[in-house]
Amino acid sequence: MRVFILNDFAYVNGGASQIALNTALSLARKGIHTCLFTGMGPISPKLVEQERLKVICLEQYDILSDPSRFRAICQGLWNRKAARCLSEILQQYSPCDTIVHVHGCQKVLSTSCIYAAKKLGFKIIYHLHDYGIACPNLGFYNYQRNQICRYVPLSADCIFSHCDSRRYLHKVWRLMRQVIQKKWGGLPGYVDAFLSVSTFSQNILQSFLPHGSLIKVLPNPHETCRHSLIDVKENKFFLFLGRLSAEKNPIEFAECVRDLDLPALFVGDGEYLDKVKKTYPQAVFTGWLEKENLYEYIKQARCLVFPSSWYETQGLSVQEMASWGIPAIVSDVCAAKEMIVHGVNGWIYESGNKDSLKKYLLKMTDDLKVRDMGKQSYELVKKIGISEEKYIEELLIFYQKTL
């Protein structure tokens, strides 16, 4: 078997890219001849000297960083160079024993690559890291109203709804991309199988996939319980970990801990940083941290609060904190709630309802309860976590099934 992985970026700039690059490395280490086809560099150093791994980078710009706006507009809709290069390289492979696994193609490569691969007869697996297969802005989220969008994609309501984080003209471009990817790019029509990162996100996307599609839920890998159990009752900080942006909903959390006069710790950065600081200036803000420094702050956390207000596809930080024995309070509109047994290893609150969040924040001030929940989190994460090795095993079985 040979594997061709498509990803917009040759370096880690988010969860999807991290999974794409790590998958390429793991497959190569397992003896699988793997090619990682990317649009934008630089190439991550860890990829360079790995045996059985070929890395191709087109050295293009992504849509946002391209100094030529005209090129960005055109290339973002249909990347001719990417399709041409992919076709030339794929002709060296056989469709009989080669899988094309698409992790990300909507920021550099475009769905022209799906068209090119299908034209040559290759089996294609599409990884559902987000909701871009159905939604023009990739997340079923209205950034103007800071709320989930429930309009049918490409319906009249959708077309005339200004949901983009910038201008409506950007929404118009997204609509054009959606039509092109559906009609000519073959997404989802040309795809042979789909990988979803959670049952939650699969249920949302199921109706947008071709009838009878082969689909598997394969959570992102995470090595669980590598850490010593923390006695969270000795800790004081209510932790927010992640990007400070509208859909992550840090303001709701900041307002609640401020009103209750609870100590809060924000680890991360983003466009909402100043707003959050203004909302609760007494909180501790660290920005993004390297792993070693991050661990020092994690060890001070009493509870993780995950207030995401969009359909987050997995929410891996809940699982990561549980591997330290840190319980979580999670909103009810994201996939992270699948990791919570309400009242056992955490609480699930009604998103947008600050009284609901405050209720569970106060419950976490009970020393005995929070300690018990921490222990439960530590034990339960063993059952929900999937190791890198198991992830690759499941992936190879799915590849074979698709071929």
CATH number, residue 270: 3.40.50.2000
Strands of 169-232 (E only): list them: 193-196, 214-217
Strands of 10-132 (E only): list them: 33-40, 53-57, 98-102, 123-128
- What pLDDT, on the 0 to 100 scale, is given for residue 292? 80
Cross-strand bridge partners of residue 93? none
Kindly state whether residues 217 and 241 are assigned to the same domain. no
Kindly state whether residues 196 and 67 are assigned to the same domain. yes
Distances in Å between the alpha carbon of 35 and those of 3, 39, 89, 162, 396? 6, 13, 10, 39, 15
Cross-strand bridge partners of residue 2? 33, 98
- 298, part of any domain: yes
- How many CB atoms lie under 10 A from the CB of residue 119? 13
- What pLDDT, on the 0 to 100 scale, is given for residue 316? 84
- 152, part of any domain: no
- 163, part of any domain: no
Kindly state whether residues 217 and 281 are assigned to the same domain. no
pLDDT band at 386 (very low <50, low <70, confident <90, very high): confident
pLDDT per residue over 86-135, tens digit each? Answer: 999 999 999 999 999 999 999 999 999 999 999 999 999 999 999 999 99
Kindly state whether residues 201 and 245 are assigned to the same domain. no
List all residues 6 or more positions away from 137 whose beta carbon is below 8 Å from its beta carbon.
143, 163, 164, 171, 174
SS3 content of the chain, % helix, strand, coil (to 5): 40, 20, 40
- 38, part of any domain: yes
Q: Which of 299, 268, 264, 296 is CA-nearest to residue 283?
A: 264
Kindly state whether residues 209 and 246 are assigned to the same domain. no
Rounded CA separation 351/348 (Å):
9
Q: Does position 230 have pLDDT exceeding 90, yes or no?
A: yes
Rg (CA), the chain: 22
Say what percent of the chain tops pLDDT 70.
Answer: 99
Kindly state whether residues 285 and 363 are assigned to the same domain. yes
- What pLDDT, on the 0 to 100 scale, is given for residue 343? 96
Kindly state whether residues 366 and 249 are assigned to the same domain. yes
Rounded CA separation 156/196 (Å):
28
Looking at the structure of the chain, the number of domains it has is 2
Rounded CA separation 182/44 (Å):
32
- 374, part of any domain: yes
Kindly state whether residues 296 and 378 are assigned to the same domain. yes
Kindly state whether residues 245 and 119 are assigned to the same domain. no
- 157, part of any domain: no
Cross-strand bridge partners of residue 100? 4, 124
Inter-axis angle of helices 112-119 and 80-90, to 10 degrees?
30
Helix (H) or strand (E) holding 4: strand 2-9
Range of the domain at 286: 237-384
Whole-prediction pTM: 0.90
Cβ(200)–Cβ(140) below 8 Å: no
pLDDT per residue over 287-320, tens digit each? Answer: 988 878 899 999 999 999 999 999 999 888 999 8
pLDDT band at 209 (very low <50, low <70, confident <90, very high): very high
Q: Does position 278 have pLDDT exceeding 90, yes or no?
A: yes
Rounded CA separation 41/43 (Å):
5
Q: Does position 15 have pLDDT exceeding 90, yes or no?
A: no
Kindly state whether residues 193 and 248 are assigned to the same domain. no
Helix (H, G, I), strand (E, B) or coil at 114: helix
Average pLDDT, the chain: 95
- What pLDDT, on the 0 to 100 scale, is given for residue 290? 82
- 168, part of any domain: no
- 167, part of any domain: no
Instruction: Tell me the backbone φ, ψ of residue 136, rounded to 5 degrees.
Output: -60, -35
| Mean pLDDT, residues 24-28 | 97
- What pLDDT, on the 0 to 100 scale, is given for residue 224? 60
- What pLDDT, on the 0 to 100 scale, is given for residue 225? 59
Lowest mean pLDDT among 228-232, 255-259, 326-330, 363-367: 228-232
Kindly state whether residues 128 and 192 are assigned to the same domain. yes
Kindly state whether residues 285 and 392 are assigned to the same domain. no
